[in-house]
Amino acid sequence: MTGTERTPLDPPWSLDLLADLHAGVLDERTEAELRPRVMADPDARAVLEALDATVMDLHNLPPIPMPREVADRIDAALAAEARPAAPVVSLDEARKRRNRRLGLGGGVLAAAAAAIGIALVVAPQNNTADQPPGAQQTQTSDKPVSGPPLAVKEGEFAAAVPEVLKAQNYGPLDNQDRLAGCLKGGGITSTAKPLGISPVSLKGKTAVMAILPGGAPGQFRIVVLDPDTCGPDNPQGVIADTTIKPTR
């Protein structure tokens, strides 16, 4: 050591070292040694002030309110989550229920009751009731679904909502423009992307179910369209249009 050699704490200081000092990264001893020297140096002090100004700029960034369509989409997803999954009733259970209700016995009638029981149950395609929390898929998909479309029954469309909310599959409608045209035919003005959309099977025919914001928190509007006939000039192309609220 000659006595004139620089140590890391001698000026000029690197920006990184000054930023570390500013952020409290340095150990107490180093900071205690460095800070008075830095504060005595106008240029180094100006760097600390520049870092302060940067933090102030960041702090002054305004809040960003969540856009309405995102809020609606999340409300609908939570509403669907709050809705109990439609129960899938086993053949045996269906037989027992029907028999109990009707007070009937006998193999032929029980078999008939079971058949009716199956027809009355609308089950989502992927029943997740037995899966542990967190195992259910919540991401949306715009990929066409392979396999048969989700079966729905008139008057029980709500049971399909959790599944449809996970999809962005326009099916035979192809795209959002065609959807908007079909909705227009039913007097529904909507240019926004639906919260969920999927082909469904209704009475053995392919239809398209779209879920739109319901106009109030927690509500959503279910519209079922006939892809073969719907369009801006055909109100008959809208098979169903109903607004539902979540229940638990």
Partner 1 sequence: MTAAASSDADLISAHAAGDPYAFSELVKRHRDRMWAVALRTLRDPEEAADALQEAFISAFRAASSFRAESQVTTWLHRIVVNACLDRMRRRQTRPTVPLPEAGPGEPVAPRDAMSERETRLMVQDALAELPEEQRAPIVLVDVEGYSVAETAQLLGIAEGTVKSRCARGRAKLAKVLGHLRNQIADANVPADGVNVQAQPRRQWEDR
Q: Which residues bind partner 1 (CB under 8 A)?
A: 12-16, 18-20, 22-25, 43-44, 46-47, 49-51, 53-55, 57-59, 61-68, 70-71, 73-75, 77-79, 81-82, 133-134, 138-140, 217-218, 246-248
The C-alpha atoms of residue 156 and residue 137 are separated, in whole angstroms, by 23
Query: 3-state DSSP call for residue 212?
Result: strand
Pairing mode of beta strands 196-202, 150-152: parallel
Residue 44, SS3 per DSSP: helix
CB of 63 to partner 1, least distance (A): 6
Smallest separation, CB 121 to partner 1 (Å): 23
Dihedrals φ, ψ of 212, to 5°? -115, 160
Cβ at position 2, least distance to partner 1 in Å: 22
Quick one: 17 or 114, whose CB is closer to partner 1?
17
Q: How far apart are the first and last CA of the chain?
A: 78
Contact 243, 221 (CB under 8 A): yes
Please, which residue, 17 or 208, has the CB nearer to partner 1?
A: 17
- Least separation, in Å, of the C-beta of 155 and partner 1? 22
* Pick 73 or 178: Cβ nearer partner 1: 73
Cβ proximity to partner 1: between 29 and 248 the closer is 248
Q: Which is nearer to partner 1, 125 or 141 (CB)?
A: 141
Phi-psi sector, 125: left (phi>0), alpha (psi -120 to 50), beta: alpha
Q: Are 98 and 110 in contact (CB under 8 A)?
A: yes
Please name the residues in contact with 18: beta carbons below 8 A apart, sequence gap of 6 or more: 38, 44, 47, 48, 51
Min separation Cβ 12 and partner 1, Å: 5
Other CB atoms within 10 A of residue 127 CB: 12
Question: Given the complex with partner 1, which of 28 and 57 has the nearer CB atom?
Answer: 57
Least distance to partner 1 from the beta carbon of 16, Å?
6
